Amino acid sequence: MRWIDTHCHLYAGEFDGDREAMVQRAVDAGITKLMLPNIDMDSIDGMWNLANTFPQHCKPMMGLHPCSVKADFQPILDKMKSEFSLRKYIGVGETGVDLYWDTTFKAQQIDAFEQQIDWAKEFNLPVIIHSRESQDLTIEIITKKQDGSLKGIFHCFGGTEDQVRQISELGFKVGIGGVVTFKNGGLAEILPLIPLNMIVLETDSPYLAPVPFRGKRNEPCYLITIANKVAEVLGISLEELSRVTSENAEAVYGKKD
């Protein structure tokens, strides 16, 4: 069986002690593709170090995380946009709106999100959306921008049945991660209502480790723990989940290399 971790921050400092061994553990466990969303200017070098060390497995994206959007975001976005003509990126992100930690720069977050959606259109790439406390707002923005050409993932999905329906109509996927294993997380109840062709798996490493690792450092090989729970809740075999989620991820990111 092969698996794709559609969202992991493997350049994070949490992995400084064992980064290459951690990637190797994931590859040995069958997680052959590790999609790396960017955070800010400081994460780019580490992301490329990984992509150059594991070119078959680690695939970089480019974007500015909503929690990193401050008053001075425009020159940063301009620099990031120029990256697309310099190196190969498989997606735009992660971008979106986060109103959980801080709403000071809400207007700037929305502006930066809309610009990054336009990159996705211009470069014909998927957009990877972070929508903490902003599910309706981000769906509204994508609905406004969707002209049939946009595709992407609402990562770390934790919404309602109605939002699943809206995201489905937009032609987007939802990223399911460790939260599905949390007691009282609510996600395991929503999961059976999500069409199978919308589901992709993610760890969001080093964050949101699944039970029984909850609260500890997350890493991509725990994707199998997440997959076991998802397969159990959906009542399908691991083999089928592996096949369908890999196809779904490839429908977003492309099949090549």
User: Where along the sequence are the contacts to Zn ion (CB under 5 A)?
Assistant: 130
Give the nearest residue (CB) to Zn ion.
130
Residue 116 CB coordination number (10 Å): 24
- Taking the least distance from each CB to Zn ion, the nearer of 42 and 239 is 42
In angstroms, give the least distance from the CB of 232 to Zn ion.
25
In angstroms, give the least distance from the CB of 204 to Zn ion.
5
In angstroms, give the least distance from the CB of 205 to Zn ion.
9
In angstroms, give the least distance from the CB of 135 to Zn ion.
13
- Taking the least distance from each CB to Zn ion, the nearer of 57 and 130 is 130
In angstroms, give the least distance from the CB of 238 to Zn ion.
25
- Taking the least distance from each CB to Zn ion, the nearer of 151 and 240 is 151
- Taking the least distance from each CB to Zn ion, the nearer of 133 and 140 is 133
Look at phi and psi of residue 133 and say left if phi exceeds 0, alpha if psi is from -120 to 50, else beta. Answer: left
**Own/partner pairs, 136-142, CB within 8 angstroms, 24+ separation:** 136/163, 137/97, 137/99, 137/110, 138/96, 138/97, 138/113, 139/163, 139/166, 139/167, 139/170, 141/97, 141/110, 141/113, 141/114, 141/117, 142/117, 142/170, 142/172
Task: State both tokens at 95.
Answer: 């971008």
- Taking the least distance from each CB to Zn ion, the nearer of 3 and 98 is 98
